[in-house]
Amino acid sequence: MMFWYGNGNGVDGWVYVLMTVGMVLFWGAVIIGVIALVRHTTRPEIHAPSHTPPPTPQQLLAERFARGEIDEHEYRSRLDVLHQAPRSPAAR
């Protein structure tokens, strides 16, 4: 009995290369799986609904002014219109 030594047993250098590559791929998959599991279990819940109130028209107008979408004259004229507009019964 030769126990993997000598010719005629069917095991040559390529088998060892394939076994090494297979082992590296196996452990790589295990490590990536563990990392994915840890990230999945420790990330914050993103499906929770947000209970922040919607921005007011004045806030939206101020944001547009801050971004430079409107100039100061337009900002002030629109702000005056918002302050003069009667409030709806739902907003009271």
The answer to which of 33-37, 51-55, 63-67 has the lowest mean pLDDT is 51-55
Local confidence band at 7 (pLDDT 50, 70, 90 cut-offs): low
**Lowest-confidence pick of 10-14, 27-31, 82-86:** 10-14
pTM of the model: 0.40
pLDDT at 43: 83
Residue at 20 is within a domain: yes
Contacts of 4 (CB under 8 A, 6+ apart): 11
- Residues 61, 83, single domain; the answer is yes
User: Based on the domain organization, do 40 and 61 belong to the same domain?
Assistant: no
In a domain, 63, yes or no: yes
Cα dist from 41 to 28, 30, 46, 64, 76, whole Å = 20, 17, 12, 39, 49
Q: Is residue 37 part of a domain?
A: yes
Q: Establish if 50 belongs to a structural domain.
A: no
Number of domains in the chain: 2
Domain that holds residue 38: 8-45
Give SS3 for 76: helix
In-domain check, residue 70: yes
pLDDT at 88 over 70: no
13-17, 25-29, 67-71, range with the lowest pLDDT: 13-17
Q: What is the rounded CA–CA span in Å between residue 82 and residue 92?
A: 15
